[in-house]
Each structure stands twice: as C-alpha cells, then as structure tokens.
Chain A
Amino acid sequence: MESRDRYRIALLSAYALALHGFEALIPSPVPWLRLGLSNIITLVTLFFYGLKPALMVTMIRVLLGSLLLGTFLGPAFFLSLGGGLAGTLSMGIITALFPRVFSMMGVSMIGAFFHNVAQLVIAYVLFVQRIEGILAVAPFLIAAGTLTGAVNGVASRYLINEIQKQHSPALSPTEPI
C-alpha cells in the first residue's frame, strides 16, 4: 500500500468518525434506529479502493468511535463491530461478485441488511437468549435498514460523482441526465 493511500484511508476514517459522532448527537424517536451515515464513507472507500481499505475504515471508525462515545467493550460496541464487519464484508463481496450490476444504492441496502442481521445474531448470542425478543424487532430493523441503506447509497453516489469530477475530469462526461 502506498503512503498516499494510507493517508487517504486515514482521511476517510476521520470523515467516517465525524459522521459517526454527529449521528450520535441526533435525537431519534426510536433509539435503535440508526441512520448509519458513516456507511456513506465506507461505500466511497469501497468504490475507490476496494474491500480491504473499506474494512480498515470501518474498523477504525468503530474502535475510535466507541472510545470517543464511551461505549468501548460495552454491548453497543460489539453490536457496532459485528454489524460494521458484516455490512462491509457483504458489500465488498457483492461488488466483487457482481461488478456494475448494482449501483451503490443497491450495495448499500444489501450492506444494511447484513449489518442488521449480524446485530440481531450478536444480540441473541451475547445478550438475549430469547428468540421472541429478536423476532419482534427484526421486521422493523429490516424495513428501517432498507430505507436508510437506500438514502445512504444515493448520498454516496453523489459524493462519488463529485470526487470523480474533481480528480479526473476525463472520466465524467458533462451531459446531465
């Protein structure tokens, strides 16, 4: 890995961390509903650099985020870590297996789904050994994940477009749709 790439991963991690911290400040009517804004940065990293850097950005974001928010090694940390890894891995595998089949919107929705599934499994294994509790929240999580996943995916597409316009004008044709 070039030092320029390392620098960029550090920068992307910082962006992800900032969004992660910002999101924690937003009051939510249903607290288990998270917007997953930092996933926008994961998607951008995945698009430009691939799975390994995206995993690094996710890990750095989860570790430093939990240290900043004071949830390190608490229940929220393990849920965040497992969800982040599962989401990023699934998105990396999808983009590797089916390049250009999905836009980042589809990739993001798939990532959100596996993020939520992983969190439900971790919650079941580590904290609640009762399938009823897990089943009761699963449909809401899948529905919410699809919505936030789609929104984050579209946001990441705009960001990717902007970055490509700035860095390689030759790559982006100028005719608007």
Chain B
Amino acid sequence: MRLNSSGSTKTTFADKLVLLFFIALSLSSFFFVNEVLPQGSEVRIEVAGELKYTLPLSDDRIISVEGPMGTTIIEVKNKRVRVVKSPCPNKICLHQDWIERGAVVCLPNKVLVTITGPQQKKEIDGITG
C-alpha cells in the first residue's frame, strides 16, 4: 500500500472506531434479540398475511401450505420448527433450518412461520412493569 495525499486510502483512527462500534452493536443486538424473543409455545403459519394454522409447538407434525409459488412444507418436531420444502428460488427459509424461537420467513412464497405463545406477553409486561 502506498501513502496517498487524499488520506482516504489508509486506515484511520475513525475507521477503527467504526469497526469496534459495529462489532459491539452486532454483539449487543444479538443478546438483546435473544432477550426479547422468548421461547414460545405456539406455531403460527401465515400465507400472504393471512393466518392459516395455529399449532402447539409440542405436537410433532408436518403441514403443507399453498403460497403463490406453490407448496411449502413445514415440519414441527421436538419443540422446533423448520421448512422442509419450498418452491422459492433462493431457499433462504430452508437454510434457516430448525428454529426454537423467532420466525422463518419465505418472501417469494409469502409464507411466514412464527413461534409465539403466552410467555411472550408475560415477558413484555415484566419489562414495562
């Protein structure tokens, strides 16, 4: 690397601050999200914004739903949820694999699987109270 009169081609102190700041931000947001998203007890499956199924997380089963692109197959097992098969081109939902909390989203097929439950309300009350 060569010195440059413009100053924009050498790592500055501000660069290092930005790097540290974003590392701290991603770590803290990771812990924050883990706190905010509690383990739920209910699986909600929505297609194009419409609630199709509400299932208990404790029951193992396989469900298929129809989206605009085709059939998405969702599996509930051992209190975890995953998308088994999806017609979407990028397969983001498949790569998310098993989740115990939060959500699996398939944008192309407009399928949204979330794990929610009564525990979530309690947690929010606990924070505000």
Contacts and interface: CB of A to CB of B under 8 A. Distances in A.
B7 interface: yes
B9 A161 contact: yes
SS class, residues of chain A in contact with chain B: helix
A47 B33 contact: no
A31 B2 contact: no
Nearest to A126: B107
Nearest to B12: A103
A157 B112 contact: no
Given A139-B26, A146-B23, A160-B9, A176 B2 contact: yes
B1 A176 contact: yes
Given A146-B22, A173-B2, A105 B11 contact: yes
A165 B3 CA distance: 11
B8 A100 contact: yes
B12 A157 contact: no
A127 interface: yes
Among B9, B37, B102, chain A packs the most CB atoms within 10 A around the CB of: B9
Interface in A97-142: 98, 100-106, 109-110, 113, 123, 127-130, 132-133, 135-136, 138-140, 142
Given A102-B18, A132-B37, A30 B95 contact: yes
A123 B102 CA distance: 16
A142 B95 contact: no
B10 interface: yes
Contacts of A74: 108
A103 B92 CA distance: 34
B6 interface: yes
A100 B3 contact: no
B125 interface: no
Interface of B: 1-12, 14-15, 18-19, 22-23, 25-27, 29-30, 32-33, 36-37, 49, 90-92, 95, 101-105, 107-108, 110, 112, 114, 116
Interface of A: 29-32, 47, 74-76, 98, 100-106, 109-110, 113, 123, 127-130, 132-133, 135-136, 138-140, 142-143, 145-146, 150, 157-158, 160-161, 164-165, 171-177
